[in-house]
Amino acid sequence: MAYQPDADIVVGVDGSDESFAALKWAMRESSLTGQHVNAVFGWTHSWDMGSEPNSEEAWTNMRHDIAVQLREWVDKASEGVDFDPDSLKLTSVKASGTTALLQIGRNAQQIVVGRRSLGRVARWFLGSLSASLAESAEVPVTVVRVAGNEDESVTDDIANALTPVKETVHYVPSEGVVEESRRPVVVGVDGSETSRHALDFAMREAQLHDSPLHVLFCWQLKDLGVVPGYERAVAPIEVGQRRAEEILSGLMAGTALPEGLEVRTHAFHIPASKGLIAASRYASHLVVGSRGLSGLDAHFLGSVSRQIVNFAECNVTVVH
């Protein structure tokens, strides 16, 4: 689907801290772009909505209660945010959150959700709602990370278990590594058409926030195709590195860079998910394409974008 800069930013809200973080992010984005924000609540009876109404009057009352609840959530999330209230839409629909966002957001500029934790073991086997949405949507999906989530609650225990000293030590989270104002937007590319769309999105995001853009090509030999001179042999790593840098240079040569945008490129010999998750610790925003594994491999191993959504240490946008 072609990029639609004037389309709505659609945000999923459900009363959770994650959804409030997503809504705040979308409002701040809207204050820079002038776009409308559509706050969407997909509700079902499993979400404490009570017994199913048995009359038209009861249905009307329930819709009213839902609208009031949605407004309260929006008012709470918008505290302290410089945002034009006229740019906000409120939408509630009887459907699961994912279904509602896919339906209402199919023509959006992007869909925004908060990253909801499942638990470390469950996430490996089941993934997350935000990752599933990012894989199913046809428009970009931004997953807003909530600082201090459950993964970080155990990192001090890990740090102390692995450090052979009696004094208590503390894991230093990503917020303490690089000042927020100096963090770049990072985009992962691989030369595919999808990664070109990701690069376009990342350039707009970096320009919008006056941030530098770092373009990363994380490669393995299988990603390079046929390396000239090694058609029937395995190319050495240094030859692969040169080939990767050529691919990256070719991609950038065919890209129209916005005037004044600071861009740096890097090619690293590392699996894409591992390299980009490492980069996320130093980024303000990570942008990736949805291209990855498919079929049984995706079911058991997870796509690159799914792993990044679940484990990145910054906000992530998955572009299709």
Q: What is the pLDDT of residue 155?
A: 60
Q: What is the pLDDT of residue 215?
A: 97
Equal fold, 1-49+58-146 vs 182-320: yes
Q: Quick one: which of 85, 106, 116 has its CA closest to 14? A: 116
Q: What is the pLDDT of residue 61?
A: 82
Secondary structure of residue 110 in the 3-state scheme? strand
Q: Quick one: which of 9, 86, 95, 92 has its CA closest to 317? A: 9
Domain 1-49+58-146's class?
alpha beta
**pTM, rounded to two decimals:** 0.83
Q: What is the pLDDT of residue 63?
A: 78
Domain boundaries defined on the chain: 1-49+58-146, 182-320
d(CA 100, CA 137): 11
Phi-psi region of 29 (alpha: psi -120 to 50; beta: other; left: phi over 0): alpha
Q: What is the pLDDT of residue 302?
A: 52
Domain 182-320's class?
alpha beta
Residue 223 DSSP symbol? G
Q: What is the pLDDT of residue 77?
A: 80
User: What is the per-residue pLDDT across 164-215, written as a single tens digit (0 to 9) for each?
Assistant: 767 766 555 544 444 555 789 999 999 888 999 999 999 999 999 999 999 9
Single-letter amino acid, residue 27: M
User: What is the per-residue pLDDT across 245-256, written as a single tens digit (0 to 9) for each?
Assistant: 999 999 999 999
Q: What is the pLDDT of residue 298?
A: 42
Phi-psi region of 99 (alpha: psi -120 to 50; beta: other; left: phi over 0): alpha
In this prediction, the residues of the chain whose per-residue pLDDT falls under 70 are: 1-5, 44-53, 116-129, 147-160, 165, 168-181, 291-302
d(CA 272, CA 304): 7
Q: What is the pLDDT of residue 304?
A: 79
